[in-house]
Every structure is written in C-alpha cells, then in structure tokens.
Amino acid sequence: MTKTNAAAVDFFGQDAINITESSKGNFYQDVAHRSSGKDDWQTPPDLFEKLNKHFNFECDVAANHENRLCNKYFTAEHSCLGKSNWAAMNFMNPPYGRVITHFVEKAYQQYTDKGNVTVALLPARTGTKWFHEYVYNKADILFLKGRLYFHDSEGRLPNAAPFESMLVAWGTDFNRLQL
C-alpha cells in the first residue's frame, strides 16, 4: 500500500479521529472536522447544480454512497487516490483534514499526466504547502464570496463553514461561469 492510499484508508476508516489527533495544534488544517466531529459534508446542491450545468461532470472523485453528485463516483472503499485514470471531467469536494493534500496532488497529477480535468471545491487556505505546490500558478482559481453552508449526510444545513472557500480548476477555467 502506498503512503497516499494509507492516508485515504486512515481517513475513511474507523479511526478517522487519528488524523485530527496527529495534527494537534493545526487548527486551520482540521477545523471542519474538529468543529463537527465528522468530515462527510456534502457540497451545497445549488452550487453543484450551477457548476454541473457549466462543466457537465462525469465523476465525483471524493464521495460516499449517500452524498455522491454524479452517477460515476469514487468512495473510501474504491478511492480515487489509488486509481491511475479518472474520468475526463471530474468534480472533487475532498475531505478537508490533513489528507486534503493527497487529493489536491492527485487532481493536479491527473491533469498534468493524463489531461483529465478536475474542478474542486476547497477551503481557501492560501498559506498551505498544497496550495503553493499544486494550485497557485497551476490552476484557475475562483474565490467564493462569503462562507458556504454545507449539508450533512442527512441533508440538514448546519452553521456556515468556519472558513472561506474557493473553486480550483485544473485543465479548464471559470470564464463565463454564472454563479
């Protein structure tokens, strides 16, 4: 098992809290998980509908059976991190804990190595290593105004996210996107 796959298994496995414990003091890395105790927040449906209308996604690469947004999707059991080839047009709202780096890196590699397009909904953490290695000057970025209200696995709206969000696109841009 590769280091990347091990991280995905650790996150999605029964001991998901270990990721938070291993990053004590990194408030901004795990704020979504710490504030709620969970990490399976669904993309706001109205935002996804607008994105999907514009991009026509083929695959949701970071989903579970309850929150998937495309007919084709990857789950924890069949992780996108271990797959060599994604679809040509992908949507990604990855876990926002420390494992986010592995998802962002994989999306970047899918574009640079295979030409596969990915549009990702990410926390706007411009000071992180993953932002500078795989996003800044390597993808198109659209910062979203305000804070999003993510849905939980039962479709309820909790409080607004404790961070700002951005859309990142590898292999396409946000020109003419109507949000």
Give every CB contact of residue 70 below 8 A, 6+ residues apart in sequence: 57, 58, 59, 60, 63, 91
Residue-range definition of the domain harbouring residue 8: 3-170
Question: Is residue 67 situated within a structural domain?
Answer: yes
Question: Is residue 175 situated within a structural domain?
Answer: no
What CATH number is associated with residue 8?
3.40.50
- Written as tens digits, the pLDDT of the chain (179 aa) is 333 333 333 333 333 222 333 333 333 334 444 445 555 578 888 999 999 999 999 999 999 888 889 999 998 888 888 887 899 999 999 998 889 999 999 999 999 999 999 999 999 999 999 999 999 999 999 999 998 988 776 666 677 888 899 999 999 999 988 88
| Cα distance between residue 32 and residue 162, in whole Å | 7
How far CA 116 is from CA of 57, 85, 97, in Å, comes to 11, 8, 24
Token digits for 161? 């996210």
Question: Is residue 18 situated within a structural domain?
Answer: yes
pTM given for the model: 0.77
Domain count, the chain: 1
Question: Is residue 14 situated within a structural domain?
Answer: yes
Question: Is residue 37 situated within a structural domain?
Answer: yes
Question: Is residue 176 situated within a structural domain?
Answer: no
Question: Is residue 35 situated within a structural domain?
Answer: yes
Tell me the DSSP string of the chain.
Answer: --HHHHHHHHHHSTTTHHHHHTTTT-HHHHHHHHHHS---PBPPHHHHHHHHHHH--SEESS--TTT--SSEE--STT-GGG-S---SEEEE----STTHHHHHHHHHHIIIII--EEEEEEE--TTSHHHHHHTTTTSEEEEPSS----B-TTS---SPPSS-EEEEEESS--TT---
* Closest-CA residue to 139 (of 113, 104, 114): 104
